[in-house]
Structure 1
Amino acid sequence: MREAAQQILSKGMHLHRPAAQPSMRDINPPPPNAAPSTPEPETTHARGQAPNPATHPAEFAQDMLNRMGIKLDLQANLDRAIDLGSLHHAPASEPLPEGAQFIRGSYSNHAGMRNYKLYIPSSYHGHAMPLLVMLHGCTQNPDDFAAGTQMNQVAEEMGCFVVYPEQPANANHSKCWNWFNAIDQQRGQGEPSIIAGIAQQIIEGYPVNERQVYVAGLSAGGAMAVIVGTLYPELFAAVGVHSGLPFASAQDLPSALTAMKRGVSKAAKAGNGSQPIIVFHGDSDTTVNPRNGEQVMAQRLHHHRGARPSVQSGAVPNGYSYTQTTHTTADGTPLGEHWVVHGAGHAWSGGSSSGSYTDAKGPDASREMLRFFRTVS
Structure 2
Amino acid sequence: MHPDFQRLMTEAARLTRAGELRRATASIRAALGKGSATAAETPTASDDDCVVIDVEARRVEPAPPVQQPAPASVPGGRFIAGSHTDVNGTHEYRLFAPPVWQGQTLPLVVMLHGCTQNPDDFAAGTGMNDAAREHGVFVLYPAQTQRANASRCWNWFKHNHQQRDRGEPAMLAAMTREVMARYGIDPQRVYVAGLSAGGAMAAILGDAYPDLFAAVGVHSGLPAGAATDLPSALAAMKRGTGSVARSTSVPTIVFHGDADATVHPSNGERAVAARAGRDTPESTRARSANGREYTQRRYRDADGRVVAEHWVVHGAGHAWAGGSAQGSYTDAQGPDASAEMLRFFRTHTLPPPAR
* Superposed pair shares fold, TM > 0.5: yes
Match of 1:276 in 2: 251
Match of 2:263 in 1: 288
Distance 1:344 1:267 in 2: 24
Q: How far did 1:97 drift?
A: 2.2
Distance 1:74 1:220 in 2: 26
Q: Which amino acid aligns with 1:285?
A: D
The answer to whether the 8 Å contact 1:225/1:240 transfers is yes
* Alpha-carbon displacement from aligned partner over 1:277-305 (angstroms, at most 9, x marks no partner): 00000000000000000000112223xx5
Q: Which amino acid aligns with 2:272?
A: M
Distance 1:353 1:70 in 2: 29
Q: How far did 1:259 drift?
A: 0.5
The answer to whether the 8 Å contact 1:61/1:254 transfers is no
The verdict on how the C-alpha distance between 1:78 and 1:280 changes in structure 2, with shifts beyond 3 A counting, is farther
The verdict on how the C-alpha distance between 1:87 and 1:213 changes in structure 2, with shifts beyond 3 A counting, is same
Among 288, 296, 301, the alignment partner of 1:329 is: 301
* Alpha-carbon displacement from aligned partner over 1:61-106 (angstroms, at most 9, x marks no partner): 445788xx776637779899844997975433277224x2101111
The answer to whether the 8 Å contact 2:25/2:42 transfers is no
The reply on whether 1:73 has 2:32 as its aligned counterpart is no
Distance 1:87 1:171 in 2: 26
Structure 2 unpaired stretches of 5+: 1-12, 44-53, 350-355
The answer to whether the 8 Å contact 2:125/2:328 transfers is yes
The answer to whether the 8 Å contact 1:116/1:165 transfers is yes
Match of 2:213 in 1: 236
Distance 2:317 2:32 in 1: 24
* Alpha-carbon displacement from aligned partner over 1:175-223 (angstroms, at most 9, x marks no partner): 1001000000111111101111111001111111111000000000000
Number of positions where the alignment pairs a residue of Structure 1 with one of Structure 2: 321
Match of 1:320 in 2: 292
Distance 2:311 2:213 in 1: 21
Query: After TM superposition, what 4+ stretches of structure 1 lie above 6 angstroms from structure 2?
Result: 74-81, 84-88
TM-score norm. by structure 2 comes to 0.84
The verdict on how the C-alpha distance between 1:59 and 1:53 changes in structure 2, with shifts beyond 3 A counting, is farther
Q: Which moved more, 1:212-221 or 1:103-112?
A: 103-112
The verdict on how the C-alpha distance between 1:64 and 1:290 changes in structure 2, with shifts beyond 3 A counting, is closer
Match of 1:131 in 2: 108
Match of 1:143 in 2: 120
Correspondence 1:38-77 to 2 at 5 A: 50-51=14-15, 53=17, 55-63=19-27, 73=35
Q: How far did 1:308 drift?
A: 4.5
Distance 2:290 2:240 in 1: 30
Identity of matched residues, %: 50
Helix, strand or coil at the partner of 1:286? coil
Match of 1:263 in 2: 240
The answer to whether the 8 Å contact 1:140/1:175 transfers is yes
TM-score norm. by structure 1 comes to 0.79
Structural RMSD (CA) = 2.6
